[in-house]
Amino acid sequence: MRRITGKAKDETLIELQSATDSQTGDGPAVLTAFRINLHSDENNGNGVPLSERTSLPGHAETDKLQPNRDTVFFRDGVRRIDFVLSYVDDKDGEKKQERRREFEANLEKAGLELETDDKSDSKDQKTYFLKIHAPWDVLATYADILKIKVPFKESDIPHGQDVPLEWLSRPFRLPEHIMHPAADYFTYPFDKTKTNFFLINNKDTFFPPSTRNRIVFYILARCPYYKEGRIDKDKTGIKRLLSNGTYTSAFPLHDVRNAECESERYNLYRHWARFLCFYKEQPLNLIRKYYGEKIGIYFAWLGFYTEMLFFAAVMGVICFTYGVLSYDDNISSKEICDASIGGSILMCPLCDKKCPFWRLNSTCLSSWQSHLFDNEGTVFFAIFMGIWVTLFLEFWKRRQARLEYEWDLVDFEEEQQQLQIRPEFEIRCTNRRLNKITKEMEPYLPVTSKCARFCLSAATVLFWISLIVACIIGVIAYRLAVYAAFASIIKDPMRKIQVVGRFITPQLATSVTASCINFVIIMILNFFYERVAVWITDMEIPKTHLEYENRLTMKMFLFQFVNYYSSCFYVAFFKGKFVGYPGHYTYMFGKQSKLRNEECDPGGCLIELTTQLVIVMAGKQLWGNIQEALLPLMRNWWSSRKGRHNPENHYSRWEQDHVLQNFGQLGLFYEYLEMVVQFGFITLFVASFPLAPLLALCNNILEIRVDAWKFTTQFRRPVASKARNIGAWQEILNAVAILSVVTNAFIMAFTSDMIPRMVYLYAYGNGMRGYVNNSLSIYNISRIPESNMPEDHDYWFDNSTTCRYRDYRYPPGHEKEYFHTMQFWHILAAKMAFIIIMEHVVFVVKFFVAWLIPDIPSDVKARIKRERYLIQGELGSSYKLCILRTKYLHHSAAGSESVGGVILCGCRLKSHPPK
């Protein structure tokens, strides 16, 4: 979009004058008069030739030409603003002013053009804005350095054929110009010496704004702010200037977001960011064009993950529905609730002193609830989820390969590894050595320093993990205390509170309160983990941005994995498993601690795991949405509450963006982390809660639109960056997928009652009647130690001499009393066999599916080969033309006039004077 008055072929004179002001640290005021010639036909649509423009000033402080300041151009209306820096005067002004003067002078030496807005023009009357424009020469130079791919030939490969019943997907589609904002081209890394090889119709619009701001930021990150001859090499880059307060912010500009001037940002807001578009496809190509490939690949992954969740959610609902429909067929629960069976069974106390003897029918409700999640359909669903994870990861690889080609990301990682070294690495590593590949001197970190940093990093990680374990132990102790308190409150069956106690059992009250406390601890620890992980990664001084993100990803996920999942692992695999039996209970940290390992009533452990999963998962997602949506909205409202009495277009585009929230370097990292943690919840423990994928699906539908709204309205435009895939998150997802098969197999075997029921059904009983009585062992009350007896003796056991507990042990009086029965070992063998069989079946299917589905679609392979063939052909023919032209000039030079310099396909042919 060019805002130049007049027709394309007219010669326009723009004269800008301003009164001469006194010279300041921001540069002198200037009187500018320059002529811009626009001859699109003569210049092949390239706009204004650089050779026909007079030199532009470094700092143009001129009066406003138009009342509407909502523009993305300099005051001349021609040069686009590629980046904006802001700063204010403060008590340390002279020192910071000196830094800015040197930094801006070095930016001008690098070829960038600057323009400053005085603080009197800003709405707060104290903020200066430095606008930066990158001319064609700078863009071409750094596009060559960064090997940015640009079009050289229009694609001749037809798009895929129409899909049958295509009309069914029509309501979910977006307009074609939104889905495909640019034509399809074959591309090749830009070469400044071969400009005629590329399709350059207009130099002003050849590089999109996302590429322009990426190039400018690359320069800003490496530009020094020390004088020539100084050795302060650490005084380099905009990041240090932002950290020491020299500049307050640095950001590229958003497009205008209104219907009067349709722009990419407006189209994104209209077709993507509104919640009413939740059923529509995402305009991924437009997202990539506006925000860059790194953000585009995140939304592509999030959208694909949400689509795949639909199938898992449907299957989970079917499994849950089966549990509801088979509710009346649950013979075990009927026996527990029957007064003549469950009401006649006296159970031993579940804790010391505070817990009374209790009747089995008091767990009637929890036994019915557990059947909803613990039934035959759960086994099928656990196997299905193991296969679903594989299909999700394999199909994502195919989708990712297609995006890599369409977004010019093939071989990107290999090219950028040596090019985009982190400025922090260059500054802090003073040692230099010869790179065997590039044959250039480069900074490096000595092995001794690297080992020392890694050792300190590992020690820090272990320390913080041990802190998590300590917090878990504290929560367990709290659970025991709360359980005892609730048990003592509702122990009296003659009180009316027992009616409430039927629904609010000690186990449920303990589970809910402990889960809430655990969630609060998780949120508090997360606050510290984020800072510790960043500090450790900075201390290691990674070489490249990719290496930095991968290391931070692994550390952060390790912290989050232990933090979020440790309590679920405890409930699933440890609670109720190592409790001992009356008279010989197992205590945590020895009997002196008086912390007896927790027990589970029938179905209690599974219900508690489900409760823990729902509270932590739902609480995390709710808190995440509050942080992502409400907090930025409130902060932006607070920042812009003053001076908003006038229409928005009365304020400059850079002022409007300045009050928005900054999208930091790790902003996208936390988005990935949130989704991957959710992925762990719906895969690692899905056997205990089949509705988890449905909750995740509903959250992600909202998440996509919240993130889109946040990016387009509440955050400054991020600096565009490239990424060919989701990075280290791919390996983390693969590891979670493999671990999920193991965890679900163990949940089905040890947390669920499915295996004991199957063993009883096929080996010990005639049907399921009598299973409850068979699963409970007998203990003589008179042999229970006083330390384990309740403080208040209830009348329940006045006429009873024995109580029951969940285990398979010989009864009193047997020659092997209180030893495990053969049924216990049969059940244990069946559990281990189930784990082995389920794991092998799922893993075999997983590996077969992974082998069957190729990672790269065949049509994408064909397109890549076609593009490379064309590149070789075009470059080969261009080289031959250069050779022939050279021979012709040598042959004709003796009998003709001198031939001027010719540029053909990047080959400069010098003139040969006659002999």
Domain ranges of the chain: 294-421+544-640+653-764+835-852
Tell me which residue of 687, 678, 508, 688 sits closest to 610, measured CA to CA.
Answer: 688
Q: What pLDDT does 158 receive? A: 65
In this predicted model, what pLDDT tens digit does every residue of 716-762 receive, in sequence order? 999 888 888 888 898 999 999 989 988 988 888 888 888 888 898 88
Give helix 376-406 / helix 728-746 axis angle, nearest 10°: 170
Cα distance between residue 483 and residue 854, in whole Å: 53
DSSP string across 19-77? -----BTTB----EEEEEE--TTTTTT--S-GGGSPPPPSB-----S-S----SB-TTS
H/E element holding 680?
helix 667-684
Which range, 260-264, 587-591, 754-758, has the best average confidence (pLDDT)? 754-758
User: What secondary structure letter does DSSP report for 533?
Assistant: H
- The answer to whether 882 and 876 have CB atoms below 8 angstroms apart is no
**914 pLDDT more than 60:** no
Residue written as tokens 């590039």?
Answer: 438
Q: What pLDDT does 299 receive? A: 94
**435 pLDDT more than 80:** no
Which range, 137-151, 328-342, 863-877, has the best average confidence (pLDDT)? 137-151
H/E element holding 909?
strand 907-909
Cα distance between residue 847 and residue 851, in whole Å: 6
Which range, 130-134, 477-481, 553-557, has the best average confidence (pLDDT)? 130-134
**Which backbone phi and psi does 127 adopt, to 5 degrees?**
-110, 125
Q: Poorest-confidence range of 69-83, 234-248, 866-880?
A: 866-880
Q: What pLDDT does 114 receive? A: 92
What integer is the mean pLDDT of 10-15?
A: 31
User: What secondary structure letter does DSSP report for 159?
Assistant: P
**9 pLDDT more than 80:** no
> What single-letter amino acid sits at 378?
T
Q: What pLDDT does 215 receive? A: 92
**Cα angle 734, 696, 692; round to 5:** 85
**Cα angle 460, 462, 464; round to 5:** 70
Residue written as tokens 């210049």?
Answer: 43
- The answer to whether 299 and 672 have CB atoms below 8 angstroms apart is no
Q: What pLDDT does 361 receive? A: 83
- The answer to whether 607 and 366 have CB atoms below 8 angstroms apart is yes
**118 pLDDT more than 60:** yes
User: What secondary structure letter does DSSP report for 766?
Assistant: S
Helices (H), 490-630: 497-501, 506-540, 545-573, 604-625
Q: What pLDDT does 860 receive? A: 81
Calculate the average pLDDT of the chain.
Answer: 75
Q: What pLDDT does 788 receive? A: 81
> What single-letter amino acid sits at 355?
C
Cα distance between residue 20 and residue 184, in whole Å: 50
- The answer to whether 802 and 780 have CB atoms below 8 angstroms apart is yes
**206 pLDDT more than 60:** yes
Beta strands in 135-292, from DSSP E residues, in sequence order: 149-154, 185-189, 249-251
